[in-house]
Amino acid sequence: MIQLIDVSKSFNSDSHTVHAVKEVNLTIREGEIFGVIGYSGAGKSTLVRCINLLERPTKGKVLIDGVDLTKLREKDLRAYRQKIGMIFQQFNLLGSRTVFENVAFPLKYRGRKKSEIRERVLSLLELVGLEDKANAYPSQLSGGQKQRVAIARALATEPKILLCDEATSALDPQTTKSILRLLKDVNRKLGITIVIITHEMHVIKEICNRVAVMEGGRVVELGDVVSIFSKPKAQITKEFINSTSNLSKIDELIKEKSQIVDLKAGERIWRLDFHGSETKEPIIVQLAKNFHIEPSIIFGNVEVISDTVLGSLIVLVKVDQEREQEVIKYLEEKQIKVEVIKYA
Ligand SMILES: Nc1ncnc2c1ncn2[C@@H]1O[C@H](COP(=O)(O)OP(=O)(O)O)[C@@H](O)[C@H]1O
Ligand SMILES: [Mg+2]
């Protein structure tokens, strides 16, 4: 378990102080995949570097399994750092060493036996799917393969925690997917707690259990990923979610006065949000049957997060103003959230 207690980190330069992380309190549970999302400059890297004390917090405590790292002597801290692996956007491989030597490096550095190193490195290369690249040099590898080497190297000392700082930000979407799948595998097979920093909501959606949203050095929202997606509170969280769906397109269409949203008297545009598991009834049919309303679907979006389906529909309906509230109430009783986006 990782606990950050009231952690702040400031950087002083000649002329001013940058408060990169401000009073962050966070508990990351054993074995979870925890995401930290925020725009560039939000303080994500600084925060995560506080976890292994690559940055020493200006204030606050960093507890790993109850032990406060900020209180440890250098020698004890080194032992703890072995338990925390890290990977980066730019892979940080040694260009003049082979794949094998890169992965072996942390083991050699710690004076492990040659035969032990060989066995461990080969099994790690197998885990990341690079058995056949042991003798290749980083320059001969694709970005995704380089990140696989970096993951193998980070796992060499059998860490309990893996910190990933924008590990997929330099990769194309397909390769990103395969690296995220590998991380999920590592999490499941080895029981390693993973902390993922990203500025991309689809990365969070793909593999995280919980997420913290950072803005201006602070954690402004925190929760399990399904709740964050279905009920975001902070404005910035809503922006990140919109970036992964096409739903905000409706606002653009309205702004552009598009034909599609040109309403006649009595017509409205609604946004319906539903949880796949809670909404079992054929709601469109029921609207027709019970209220003589026949919504036409303008477009929709479905997110599948963990095993939860979160669906949204933008629909055009014709409904009397007096009856609208009644219909909305009916839908909300069926666990469908209704937002009136535009009315004629
Ligand atoms: N070593 C440093 N010295 C001075 N300022 C820094 C240093 N590291 C980060 N910062 C500043 O702290 C803020 C947060 O940076 P960072 O943690 O890298 O954010 P993110 O990873 O979210 O992009 C930024 O304003 C950045 O310029
Ligand atoms: Mg960063």
| Dist. CA 27–CA 12, nearest whole Å | 28
What average pLDDT does range 190-213 have in this prediction?
96
Range from 8-17, 49-58, 297-306 carrying the lowest mean pLDDT:
297-306
Please give the pLDDT value at position 246.
83
User: Is pLDDT of 309 > 90?
Assistant: no
Lowest mean pLDDT among 24-38, 84-98, 146-160, 325-339: 325-339
**If you average pLDDT over residues 181-199, what whole number do you get?**
96
For ligand 1, what atom is nearest to the CA of residue 217?
A: 14
Q: Select from 17, 18, 165, 215 the residue to mutate for testing ligand 1; criterion: most ligand atoms less than 8 Å from CB.
A: 18
- CA torsion through residues 227, 300, 247, 166, sign: positive
Domain ranges of the chain: 2-242, 249-343
Mean pLDDT (whole number) for 294-316: 88
Q: Is 43 in the pocket of ligand 1 (CB under 6 A)?
A: yes
Question: What does pTM read for this prediction?
Answer: 0.89
The mean predicted confidence, pLDDT, of the chain is 93
Place of tokens 């925190």: 222
**Does ligand 1 come within 6 angstroms of the Cβ of 8?**
no
Max mean pLDDT range (74-78, 159-163, 272-276, 323-327): 159-163
Q: Which two tokens stand for residue 341?
A: 């986006």
Q: For residue 108, how far is its CA from the centre of ligand 2 (angstroms)? A: 29
* The pLDDT of residue 278 is above 80: no
Q: What is the pLDDT of residue 19?
A: 96
Structure-token match 């949204």, residue found: 312
Across 67-77, average pLDDT: 93
Q: Identify the band that residue 276 occupies on the pLDDT scale cut at 50, 70 and 90.
A: confident
User: Which atom of ligand 1 lies closest to the CA of 49?
Assistant: 17
pLDDT at 280 exceeding the cut of 70: no
Mean pLDDT of 10-31: 95
CATH of domain 249-343: 3.30.70.260
Q: What is the mean pLDDT of residues 167-184?
A: 96
Query: Which stretch of 29-43, 167-181, 269-283 has the lowest confidence by average pLDDT?
Result: 269-283
Contacts of 224 (CB under 8 A, 6+ apart): 209, 210, 211
Q: Check if 60 has its Cβ closer than 6 Å to any atom of ligand 1.
A: no
Rounded mean pLDDT of 93-110? 95
Strands 193-198 and 336-343: unpaired
Maximum mean pLDDT: which of 83-87, 262-266, 336-340: 83-87
Q: What residue type is 247 in one-letter code?
A: L
Rounded distance between C-alpha atoms, residue 153 and residue 102, angstroms: 7
Instruction: Report how far ligand 2's centroid is from the alpha carbon of 49 (Å).
Output: 10
Is residue 171's pLDDT more than 80?
yes
| Predicted pLDDT of residue 101 | 97
What does CATH list as the number for 2-242?
3.40.50.300
The rounded distance, in Å, linking the Cα atoms of 145 and 147 is 5
Test site for ligand 1: of 11, 39, 49, 219, most ligand atoms within 8 A of the Cβ: 11
Q: What is the mean pLDDT of residues 285-313?
A: 88
Averaged over 230-253, what is the pLDDT? 89
Decide whether any atom of ligand 1 lies within 6 Å of the 17 Cβ.
no
Q: How far is the C-alpha of 26 from the C-alpha of 5, rounded, in Å? A: 7
Q: Is 38 exposed, middle or buried (0-12, 13-18, 19+ CB in 10 A)?
A: buried
What pLDDT was estimated at residue 286? 86
Give the pLDDT band (50/70/90) at residue 277. Answer: low
- Residue 230 has a pLDDT of 87
Cβ of 18 below 6 Å from ligand 1: yes
What is the position in ligand 1's atom list of the atom closest to the CA of 40? 23
CA distance 91 to 331: 50
Atom 7, ligand 1: which residue's CA is nearest?
11
Question: CB burial class (10 A; 0-12, 13-18, 19+) of residue 186?
Answer: buried
